[in-house]
Amino acid sequence: MNLVDSLRYHWNVNILGPSILRFSIWLREQTARRGWKSGNLAPPLKVSWRNKDLVTRHWLRGHYANQRSKVAWVTSGAPVELLKALDYYIVYPENHAAICGTARVAVDIMSEAEEAGYSQDICSYARTDFGTLFSGMTPVGKLPRPDLLLACTNICQTVLFWYRVLARHFNIPLIVIDTPFVYQSEASEHAVQFVLRQLEEAIPVAERVAGKSLEERRLEEVGRLSKLATELWLEIIERNQHRPAPISVIDQFIQMAPIVEMRGDAATVDFYAAMLKEVDERIAKGIGAVKGERKRLLWDNLPIWYRLRYIAEFLGEHGIAIVASTYTNAWGELAPFYKVERGLESFALACTYVILNRGTGHKLKTMQRMIEEYRLDGVILHSDRSCKPYSIGQMDQRDRLIREHEKPALLLEADHNDFRCFAEEQVANRLAAFVEMLER
């Protein structure tokens, strides 16, 4: 990067971009509606702007990433720390797809993939990614071209085929980390060793593409930061055991962006430390995410990105707060597996124990524990057409929760990114009937 490019980069990423963002936030606070339409919902957290700032800068840096560093596209459960330690700029196509979902442009984008022949039965994140690939359409301006791909099978098998498409499209190396499924509560030693060997084999490939060697000390530092951020995130979500819950799961869905796409950065640790402080302030002042909180719910599965506001406001109007979620918890429950002193094995463990790489019994136990610890009144299970590994077993899990905990549980059919799979009237009717059940 020459001097002019470097100046342009700093001007856009560090001065102009953030200034425009802050001005737009200030303008919205002065003029348009603040946060929610419903007066029953607490205003967004004050640290929200820092989240926006982090995410905006991340994507602004993405504009210039190809000129400044090597770029890797990775799956959400991948051991990203290896690449962070080699100074890769990281893109999570899943996160990008979720941004498209909340911006409600995902269906337009995924239609491009469908026109290219990709079936509507494929995950809507994958279709959104392919759509961006083929058309260049994205709400973040531009996605940097990857130099390396890293896919980990701990979230689903779709990523194997998804990343093969990417590898062929860009003609670049693809590292696949295959994580044996954890059927029982513990992974076998040889399964962890199997993942560890793959990580060891991945390093030379990542080093060759990066053009530099991995420093052990740097990897340890990134691992430490990942662990810290994960621990803070877990603390934040567990604060919802307080009544009223200080932050709704809908807020958590928005605030989880840094823990997913900026894990291993110091700024992410600072952000969650500030967020924990604000959450504690809310608890001290008795502020709840839903004013006059009457009922507390659990959310299972990915969010319905294009209807977050609708769900929050509908439930909020009835004094109902979603306070716990297996999905946001998934990014916190890995904290104990980051054992920095064990080096690479720490990342092998964190990869292996991802929620979707464990049996459905683990998820059921998590929900049962949450019902007790968070003193919940009911459960919403989002049956996500796109995410089969997350949705499988939900019928049985629902039955067990109803039978063993006598809590009403609703199975809500939708899709995390494709609003064509969301039947507005039917969902509204089911939600309304569920609310009436809770209120009886």
Partner 1 sequence: MAEVCALGIDVGSTTAKIVGIDDKGHIVWHLLEQADPQVGKQVERFLELAREVTTTPSDPKDGGQKNGVPLIATGYGRKLVLQATRKVTEITCHARGIYRELGHGGTLVDIGGQDSKVIGISPKGEVIDFSMNDKCAAGTGRFLENTASRLGVALDRLGEVTLSTEEEVPISSTCTVFAESEVISLIAHGVATEPILRGLHRSLVKRVVAMIRSVGLRPPLMLSGGVVLNPAIPYLLQEETGEQVIIPHHPQLIGALGAALIGLDLLPKEI
Per CB under 8 A, residues contacting partner 1 are: 395, 399, 402, 408-409, 413, 423, 425-426, 429-430, 432-433, 436-437, 440
Structure tokens at 116: 């290219």
Least distance to partner 1 from the beta carbon of 378, Å?
Answer: 11
Find out whether 319 and 40 touch, Cβ atoms under 8 Å: yes
Q: Is the dihedral of CA 255, 258, 264, 270 positive or negative?
A: negative
Which residue's CB is nearer to partner 1, number 7 or number 423? 423
Which residue's CB is nearer to partner 1, number 94 or number 384? 384
Which residue's CB is nearer to partner 1, number 15 or number 433? 433
Residue identified by tokens 């030379």 is: 204
Strands (E), 112-194: 148-152, 174-177
Rounded distance, CA 224 to CA 299, Å? 30
Least distance to partner 1 from the beta carbon of 7, Å?
Answer: 54
Rounded distance, CA 244 to CA 247, Å? 9
First and final C-alpha spacing in the chain: 65
Amino acid, res. 186: E
Least distance to partner 1 from the beta carbon of 429, Å?
Answer: 6
Which residue's CB is nearer to partner 1, number 62 or number 408? 408
Least distance to partner 1 from the beta carbon of 436, Å?
Answer: 5
Rounded distance, CA 267 to CA 228, Å? 11
Least distance to partner 1 from the beta carbon of 49, Å?
Answer: 37
Rounded distance, CA 86 to CA 270, Å? 22
Which residue's CB is nearer to partner 1, number 29 or number 439? 439
Long-range residue pairs from 199-207, CB within 8 A, at least 24 positions apart, any chain? 199/79, 199/82, 199/344, 199/347, 199/348, 200/344, 202/82, 202/150, 202/175, 202/177, 203/82, 205/148, 205/173, 205/175, 206/72, 206/82, 206/83, 206/86, 206/88, 206/148, 206/150, 206/175, 207/86
Find out whether 194 and 370 touch, Cβ atoms under 8 Å: no
Least distance to partner 1 from the beta carbon of 385, Å?
Answer: 10
Which residue's CB is nearer to partner 1, number 76 or number 394? 394
Least distance to partner 1 from the beta carbon of 318, Å?
Answer: 13
Which residue's CB is nearer to partner 1, number 125 or number 434? 434
Rounded distance, CA 179 to CA 176, Å? 10
Which residue's CB is nearer to partner 1, number 133 or number 376? 376
Q: Order of strands, edge to edge, in the sheet holding 409-414?
A: 320-325, 295-300, 378-384, 409-414
Least distance to partner 1 from the beta carbon of 141, Å?
Answer: 35
Rounded distance, CA 58 to CA 269, Å? 15
Which residue's CB is nearer to partner 1, number 12 or number 38? 38
Which residue's CB is nearer to partner 1, number 1 or number 395? 395
Least distance to partner 1 from the beta carbon of 347, Å?
Answer: 41
Q: Is 281 helix (H, G, I), strand (E, B) or coil?
A: helix
Structure tokens at 103: 């911006």
Structure tokens at 35: 């946060």
Got the DSSP string for 288-315?
-SBTT--EEEEEESS--GGGHHHHHHHH
Least distance to partner 1 from the beta carbon of 393, Å?
Answer: 14
